[in-house]
């Protein structure tokens, strides 16, 4: 219990310390984020990979309403807890070349968001989950609003309205489930045990699904994403794409499937169709993008569409593929946005047609960028391969035509990502790119860490699969058992 409480509250305390650290905020936030990573690794090393919930904290909070500070870690949450604590120090390190205005506030907001994310990924009480869900939104809003690019206020307001609207739907669903619970508490197991009829499960499904679909995002709830990713500062984009969208994926797995399995079964076909439409639509839009950052934003929508399709296939392969791909996607997309940030910091453009020939001047950047691109397109031997293979196997077991169309994400992704790499890194240099310099200092450190993770997890993914297997299997057994009892 003490380890989990420390894991959640260390970033929160760190945010307060960082806010008061002044010019030392960058160093203080780095130390705290590395300490959080060390604690997460300690918990992972002592984690028993079975279906049980471990390191559980269950403390009274608002007793009159049946609200408790109930949090714990199983194989599903362990993976996203590791992802969060791994990426935060990488994201902070990626900002070292910048001197942000009011750095204390900037780095404090990152740590505050980390605390909110960890609360979401460990909460076993629906009210606590909702608090974490909203707490993670507040800092990213201010990060994008204060340090974002052109037209950031309008874009950020659209993002805020989208996510708040989705959150309100989820809140209504949580309150309804609380009122249906004879124990009058928000405990996740009590919600799992509720005996709701088909109509009740149907509207609860949509109340939760809309909130999660916006956050992921999947078609047609995605329209906030490309503009927000482009206008946000690079570290904000990394937080959104690398970790925050995983809140939606995790929410579907942890809350939606076990609480309303009949609702999921009734609407899974539509959810699958929307996911597959998102794959094809986002891939086709990515082909037309002239800005590399927007291209990566649309590629993220396509990859998340495949993850969503794997979840709604409701089988072991699809679900485990989704878990592994959450981690792989987070690592790869942070790497992509960091490379584009390096290019932008030197040349002040991400327009693909204005670039070219950079590999001749920056061979280390070219090699690391290529490794990240290959991981993104799921080349065998990279971290992206095992997740996408399992996802496609899961979707194939759902339906061969669904798998055939969903599989286009790999083909399309390889074309537009490799074409982007070719146009940016290869060919002849021009008047703009002739001055380009290779990576150095923290740029090397960040890219080397990301490339090492891509290769290590690609060559030896067994620990990730072993970590999640029992929990995923147990969750699916719960879902299928409830569906069988209804029949």
List strand residue ranges (DSSP E) for 295-337, in order: none
Between residues 151 and 75, which one has the greater pLDDT?
75
Partnered with residue 139 across adjacent β-strands are none
The pLDDT of residue 405 is 86
List strand residue ranges (DSSP E) for 329-487, in order: none
The arithmetic mean of pLDDT across residues 132-142, rounded, is 89
The pLDDT of residue 486 is 59
pLDDT above 70 covers a percentage of the chain that reads: 99
Q: What angle do CA 260, 266, 272 make, to 5 degrees?
A: 100
The pLDDT of residue 77 is 92
Q: Which of 143-147, 200-204, 308-312, 419-423 has the lowest mean pLDDT?
A: 143-147
Dist CA 385 CA 457 (whole Å): 10
pLDDT surpassing 90 at residue 196 = no
pTM of the predicted structure, to 2 decimals: 0.92
Write out the two tokens for 123. Answer: 């909460």
pLDDT in tens, 368-382: 999 999 999 988 999
pLDDT surpassing 90 at residue 411 = no
Q: Which of 147-151, 389-393, 461-465 has the lowest mean pLDDT?
A: 147-151
pLDDT in tens, 267-280: 888 999 999 998 99
Dist CA 268 CA 128 (whole Å): 27
The arithmetic mean of pLDDT across residues 358-375, rounded, is 93
pLDDT surpassing 70 at residue 85 = yes
Dist CA 276 CA 438 (whole Å): 39
pLDDT surpassing 60 at residue 487 = no
Q: What angle do CA 428, 432, 438 make, to 5 degrees?
A: 75
pLDDT above 90 covers a percentage of the chain that reads: 46
Residue 100 — very low, low, confident or very high, per pLDDT cuts 50/70/90? confident
Q: In the block, which residue shows the tokens 């949090």?
A: 71
Cβ neighbours for 267, distance < 8 A, ≥ 6 positions apart: 202, 205, 206, 209
Question: Nearest CA to 368 among 300, 301, 303, 421?
Answer: 421
Residue 432 — very low, low, confident or very high, per pLDDT cuts 50/70/90? confident
| Positive or negative torsion for Cα 256, 180, 470, 473 | negative
Cβ neighbours for 153, distance < 8 A, ≥ 6 positions apart: 145
Question: Of the ranges 101-105, 111-115, 412-416, 475-479, which is most confident?
Answer: 111-115
- What's phi and psi for 72, nearest 5 deg? -165, 170
Mean pLDDT over the full length of the chain:
89
Question: Nearest CA to 244 among 87, 53, 475, 125?
Answer: 87
Q: Where are the domains of the chain?
A: 266-487
Cβ neighbours for 228, distance < 8 A, ≥ 6 positions apart: 144, 155, 156, 158, 159, 240
């Amino acid at each position: 219990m003490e380890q989990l409480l420390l894991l959640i509250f260390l970033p929160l305390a760190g945010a307060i310390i960082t806010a008061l650290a002044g010019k030392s905020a960058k160093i203080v936030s780095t130390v705290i984020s590395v300490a959080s990573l060390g604690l997460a690794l300690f918990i992972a090393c002592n984690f028993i990979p079975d279906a049980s919930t471990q390191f559980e904290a269950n403390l009274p909070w608002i007793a009159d309403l049946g609200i408790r500070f109930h949090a714990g870690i199983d194989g599903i949450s362990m993976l996203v807890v590791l992802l969060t604590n791994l990426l935060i120090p990488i994201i902070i390190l990626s900002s070292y070349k910048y001197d942000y205005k009011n750095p204390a506030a900037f780095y404090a907001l990152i740590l505050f968001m980390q605390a909110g994310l960890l609360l979401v990924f460990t909460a076993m009480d629906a009210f606590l989950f909702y608090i974490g869900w909203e707490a993670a939104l507040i800092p990213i809003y201010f990060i994008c609003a204060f340090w974002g690019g052109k037209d950031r206020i309008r874009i950020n307001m659209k993002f805020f309205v989208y996510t708040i609207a989705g959150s309100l739907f989820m809140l209504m669903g949580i309150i309804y489930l609380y009122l249906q619970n004879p124990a009058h508490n928000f405990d996740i197991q009590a919600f799992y045990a509720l005996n709701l009829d088909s109509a009740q499960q149907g509207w609860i499904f949509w109340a939760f699904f809309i909130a999660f679909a916006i956050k992921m995002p999947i078609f047609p709830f995605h329209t906030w994403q490309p503009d927000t990713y482009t206008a946000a500062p690079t570290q904000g984009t990394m937080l959104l794409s690398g970790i925050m969208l995983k809140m939606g994926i995790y929410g579907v797995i942890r809350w939606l499937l076990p609480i309303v399995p009949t609702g999921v079964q009734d609407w899974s076909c539509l959810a699958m169709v929307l996911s597959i439409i998102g794959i094809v639509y986002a891939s086709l839009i990515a082909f037309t993008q002239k800005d590399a950052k927007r291209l990566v934003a649309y590629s993220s929508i396509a990859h998340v569409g495949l993850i969503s399709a794997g979840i709604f296939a409701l089988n072991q392969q699809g679900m485990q593929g989704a878990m592994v791909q959450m981690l792989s996607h987070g690592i790869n997309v942070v790497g992509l946005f960091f490379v584009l940030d390096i290019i932008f910091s030197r040349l002040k453009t991400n327009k693909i047609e204005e670039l070219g020939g950079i590999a001749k001047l920056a061979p280390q950047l070219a090699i690391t960028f290529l490794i990240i691109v290959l991981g993104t397109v799921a080349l065998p031997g990279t971290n992206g391969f095992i997740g996408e293979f399992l996802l496609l196997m899961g979707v194939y077991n759902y339906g061969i035509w669904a798998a055939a169309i969903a599989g286009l994400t790999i083909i399309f992704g390889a074309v537009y990502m490799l074409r982007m790499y070719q146009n940016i890194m290869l060919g002849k240099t021009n008047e703009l790119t002739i001055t380009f310099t290779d990576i150095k200092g923290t740029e090397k450190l960040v890219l080397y860490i990301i490339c090492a993770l891509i290769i290590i997890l690609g060559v030896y993914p067994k620990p990730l699969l072993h970590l999640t297997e029992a929990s995923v299997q147990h969750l699916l057994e719960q879902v299928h058992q409830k569906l069988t009892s209804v029949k």
